[in-house]
């Protein structure tokens, strides 16, 4: 097998401080590292000569495998892309939660925008689960997913 596992998900953000505050203070992720990226390899990887990036790395406490990488292009900023979920090229990040209704209420009270109230998944491989789509400050779609009873991950 060529691929062994997923290492991280990366989002390009407009304001690294705002995004860190959102993911750390609002959602409860742990900030594990920050750095300014100017190394030559970053220019090669990103395709932007002389790139300068503000970078932050976060994870869900207790989850050692998956990292959320936030990148702010200081040297090559651009306008955001449309975030509609039906547009090819857009993705979403899904968080497993124990009580999606409680998460929805708490985050709504904190001003987070949602597409709907939590919905019961009535068919398919996740039948019996609950899910809702919300947005981060840059418009990225975040799914909050409560597995069916008996399948909640710890």
The answer to whether the beta carbons of residues 58 and 30 sit under 8 Å apart is yes
Average pLDDT across each block of 10 residues of the chain; the chain has 154 residues. List them in order. 89 98 97 97 97 97 91 96 90 95 97 95 95 96 91 49
Please give the backbone phi and psi of residue 70, each rounded to the nearest 5 degrees, phi first.
Answer: -105, 130
Residue 150's pLDDT is: 62
Secondary structure element (H or E) that encloses residue 53, with its range = strand 53-59
Where are the domains positioned within the chain?
A: 8-73, 92-146
- Report the 10 Å Cβ neighbour count for 92: 14
Task: Give 8's contacts (C-beta < 8 A, 6+ positions apart).
Answer: 57, 66, 67, 68, 69
Rounded to two decimals, the pTM is 0.90
Check if 8-73 and 92-146 are the same fold: yes
* 58 CB burial (10 A radius; 0-12, 13-18, 19+): buried
Q: What radius of gyration, in Å, describes the C-alpha atoms of the chain? A: 17
Residue 154's pLDDT is: 44
What topology does CATH give the domain 92-146? Answer: 2,3-Dihydroxybiphenyl 1,2-Dioxygenase; domain 1 (3.10.180)
Q: Which CATH superfamily is domain 8-73 in?
A: 2,3-Dihydroxybiphenyl 1,2-Dioxygenase, domain 1 (3.10.180.10)
DSSP-assigned letters across all residues of 60-99? -TT--S-EEEEEEESSS--PPPP--TTSTT--EEEEE-S-
């Amino acid at each position: 097998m060529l691929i062994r596992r997923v290492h991280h998900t990366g989002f390009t953000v407009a304001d690294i401080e705002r995004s860190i505050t959102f993911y750390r203070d609002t959602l409860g992720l742990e900030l594990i590292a920050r750095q300014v990226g100017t190394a030559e390899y970053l220019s090669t990887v990103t395709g932007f000569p002389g790139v300068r990036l503000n970078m932050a790395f976060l994870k869900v406490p207790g989850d050692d495998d998956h990292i959320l990488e936030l990148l702010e292009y200081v040297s090559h900023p651009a306008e955001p892309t449309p975030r509609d979920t039906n547009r090819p090229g857009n993705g979403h990040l899904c968080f497993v939660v124990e009580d999606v209704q409680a998460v929805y209420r708490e985050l709504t009270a904190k001003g987070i925008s949602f597409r709907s109230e939590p919905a019961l998944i009535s068919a398919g491989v996740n039948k019996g689960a609950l899910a809702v789509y919300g947005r981060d400050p840059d418009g990225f779609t975040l799914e909050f997913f409560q597995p069916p009873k008996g399948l909640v991950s710890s």
